Structure formats: C-alpha cells, structure tokens
C-alpha cells in the first residue's frame, strides 16, 4: 500500500496543504492571505483567523487534486515552528484532530529544515554534505546539511532577516507588503551602480541587515527634502542598487563559508531565493568557483506545504514521529 502523507503549513501568512505519496508531490495547495497587504506586514491576529477560516477548504482541495480520500492517508506532517504562535496553533490543532479521528501518526516538522529539504522534491538533488543559504522573511542562515535530519547552523543574521530588509525598504519606496518581488522586478531595468549603500560586515559567517535599512531611510529622507519626486524618478536605479548591496552581503559570507569548509555543493532556499538577481549571481559564482548549485523551483521557495511533506516523509522513514503532547514552538531551533 502507498505511503500517503498529508502536510500542513500555517507558520505565517500562507495556508497550505499537500499530499506526498511515497516521496512524490501529488498536490500542493497554497492560499496566500491578502488581508495583510494594506498593513505593510503580517498582522499575527489576522493571520491566525485567516488560517482557521481557510484550512478545511485548502485541505479538501489538496486531497481532491491528489485524487486521494481522507481514509487513504497514512500520516500527518505539520509545521511545529518557527513561526507565529497563533498561526502554528491552527495547523497543529487540525493535525491532532485528524490524527485522533483517523488513528494515524503525527510528524512534527521544523519550517527552516523544510525550506532546505524542498531540494529533495525534484531532481537534481544535492549530495550530502551541502551548504544551504536559507533566506526568508524571518531568517537568514548558512546551514551545513549532513543528512535529511542532521543540519547545523554555521551562521545567521544578528538582527533583521534579508527578506525583512527587502520588505521594510520596499515600504520606504512605497511598495505594498511583501515587496521583495517588486524590488526584484524594478531592479531588472535599473543601474546597480547608481547609488552606493554601505554593506555591514559582522564576524564569522553571520549577517546584519539593519544597517542598510537605516542607511536607505536617511538617504531617502535627505533626497526627498529637495525633490518630492526623487523616488518616482529613480525607482529602478534605487531598487537595483539596494538589491545589488544585499546580494553582495549574502554572497560574501556564502563564498567564505564554502571555501573554509571546502564545500562545492551549494543550495539556496526560502522565499528570497525566488529573487532573480540572487539566482543569476549564484549561477555566475558556480562557474567561477566550480560549485554545483541548486536552486528550487519558485513554487517551492516561498512557504508551501509540499516542503513540509517531503521533510515529514524523511522523518517518517527514520521513525521520527511525535505524539499528541506536541506543542508549537514559535522559536523552534534545529
């Protein structure tokens, strides 16, 4: 009989469900909550309410697209953390209810590990050990991945995540939330050398993105004093210059970490890995350093339940299940 895992993702503002059959994705239903756009960021209370409102229809759609009935499910994987507590509670409570009703086991999944394991949804898959730069709205980490369950954070941000920097700077430029994608689009037609912003360097393989955010804020404030239309007139060049600085900061530590740990298998993961500038830059670096690079499909970069399902599948194979006493952990570590 086939091993059918249903996976649930509800850590932030995407309500998602996926069916994984013997390690293959049969469906991946994602509902992105639009309610936050006008607030310039995710409003936790609204996010949990929206998850509660939509989770049943999202699960129904995932089952329907996979052609699987609820009675054919073998196990339930869900995001335990990190994420917003109220949002995580919706997914975990749903998973527990289904586990009791259908008498099937539960598998708790770390959202950040799942972003990395999204590389095992499709070919080509990285060889162990590999280095993964995980870049999202909440995290920026350099992770040494030795196995499906064995991962070590070698470096991370000391303050803002790089996605947060994209979104906060985007807000200053007048974009709605989340604005990473919009900065990316405008950057394509801009001059990355037009404006210079400082790139902060911190010890080890760590990052800091709060400095560039403040630098852009003061830069725009000064320019707007003498020209109200400065942003509109220079939007593409501003986006290209800011994105260029962020990419430079990300890549400097990635190169250092890869060299010092003698690793040539390099992956990127997380929502910011959807950035076309980062993807192009990485391809250039792979030629220069003779790296083998792995970039997930866009659909598997931003939050989705298929990555939770694939992480759950490997945990299931290792017998790493959990019981009904499991609770969400907003700051879950590896």
By the criterion CB under 6 A, which residues form the site for ligand KG4? 12, 136-138, 163, 166-167, 178-181, 184, 270-272, 274-275, 302-303
What are the Cα distances from residue 247, in Å, to 147, 184, 237, 276?
A: 27, 11, 15, 11
Q: How many Å from the N-terminal Cα to the C-terminal Cα in the chain?
A: 32
| Ordered DSSP codes for 253-272 | HHHHHHHHTT--EEEEESGG
Residue 166 site contact among Zn ion, ligand KG4, none (CB < 5 to 8 Å, cut-off depends on kind): ligand KG4
Residue spans of alpha helices (H) in 105-229: 111-117, 162-172, 180-187, 210-226
Using the minimum distance from each CB to ligand KG4, give the nearer residue, 75 or 282: 282
Residue from 101, 105, 94, 91 nearest 5 by CA: 105
Question: Taking the complex as a whole, how short is the minimal distance between the CB of residue 29 and Zn ion, in angstroms?
Answer: 17
CA distance 38 to 33: 12
Asked whether the CA dihedral 136, 274, 152, 314 is positive or negative, the reply is: positive
Judged by CB, which is closer to ligand KG4: 13, or 237?
13
Per-residue x/- track, 270-299, Zn ion (CB under 5 A): ------------------------------
Between 4 and 140, name the residue whose CB sits nearer to Zn ion. Answer: 140
303 binds Zn ion (CB under 5 A): yes
For residues 108 and 3, what is the distance between their CA atoms, to the nearest angstrom? 17
Place of tokens 């019981």: 323
Nearest CB to Zn ion, comparing residues 29 and 136: 136
Binding mask 130-169 for Zn ion (x = CB under 5 A): ------x---------------------------------
Least distance from ligand KG4 to the Cβ atom of residue 183, Å: 6
Q: Which does 82 bind (CB under 5 to 8 A by kind): Zn ion, ligand KG4, none?
A: none
Residue identified by tokens 């390099």 is 266
**Adjacent-strand bridge partners of 152:** 144
Q: At closest approach, how far in Å is the CB of 301 from ligand KG4?
A: 7
Q: In the complex, what is the shortest distance from the CB of residue 296 to ligand KG4, in angstroms, rounded to a whole number?
A: 11
The answer to whether 334 and 146 have CB atoms below 8 angstroms apart is: no
Q: Nearer to ligand KG4 by C-beta: 21 or 141?
A: 141
Nearer to Zn ion, 63 or 307 (CB): 307
Minimum separation from the CB atom of position 52 to ligand KG4 (A): 20
- Cβ proximity to Zn ion: between 164 and 303 the closer is 303
Do 295 and 268 touch, CB atoms closer than 8 A? yes
Residues in contact with Zn ion by the rule CB under 5 A: 136, 303
């Amino acid at each position: 009989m086939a091993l059918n895992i249903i996976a649930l993702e509800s850590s932030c503002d995407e309500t998602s469900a996926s069916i994984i059959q013997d390690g293959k994705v049969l469906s991946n239903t994602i509902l992105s909550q639009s309610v936050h756009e006008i607030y310039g960021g995710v409003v936790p209370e609204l996010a949990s309410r929206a998850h509660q409102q939509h989770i049943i229809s999202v699960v129904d759609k995932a089952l329907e697209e996979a052609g699987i009935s609820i009675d054919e499910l073998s196990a339930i994987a869900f995001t335990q953390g990190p994420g917003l507590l109220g949002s995580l509670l919706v997914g975990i409570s749903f998973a527990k209810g289904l586990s009791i009703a259908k008498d099937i086991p539960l598998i708790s999944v770390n959202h950040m590990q799942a972003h990395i394991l999204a590389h095992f949804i499709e070919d080509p898959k990285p060889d162990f050990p590999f280095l993964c730069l995980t870049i999202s709205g909440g995290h920026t980490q350099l992770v040494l991945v030795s196995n499906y369950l064995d991962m070590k954070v070698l470096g991370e941000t000391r303050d803002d995540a790089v996605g947060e920097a994209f979104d906060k700077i985007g807000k200053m430029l007048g974009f709605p939330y989340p604005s990473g994608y919009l900065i990316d689009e405008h950057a394509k037609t801009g001059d990355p050398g037009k404006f210079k912003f400082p790139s902060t360097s911190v010890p080890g393989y760590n990052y800091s993105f709060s400095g560039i955010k403040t630098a852009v804020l003061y830069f725009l404030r000064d320019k707007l004093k003498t020209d109200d239309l400065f942003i509109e007139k220079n939007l593409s060049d501003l986006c290209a210059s800011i994105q260029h600085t962020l990419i430079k900061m990300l890549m400097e530590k990635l190169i250092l970490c890869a060299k010092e740990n003698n690793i040539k298998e390099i992956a990127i993961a997380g929502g910011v890995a959807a950035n076309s500038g980062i993807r192009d830059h990485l391809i250039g670096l792979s030629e220069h350093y003779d790296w083998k690079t792995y970039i997930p499909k866009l659909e598997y970069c931003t939050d989705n339940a298929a990555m939770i399902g694939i992480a759950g599948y490997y945990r299931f194979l290792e017998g790493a299940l959990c019981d009904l006493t499991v609770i969400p952990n907003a700051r879950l570590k590896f």
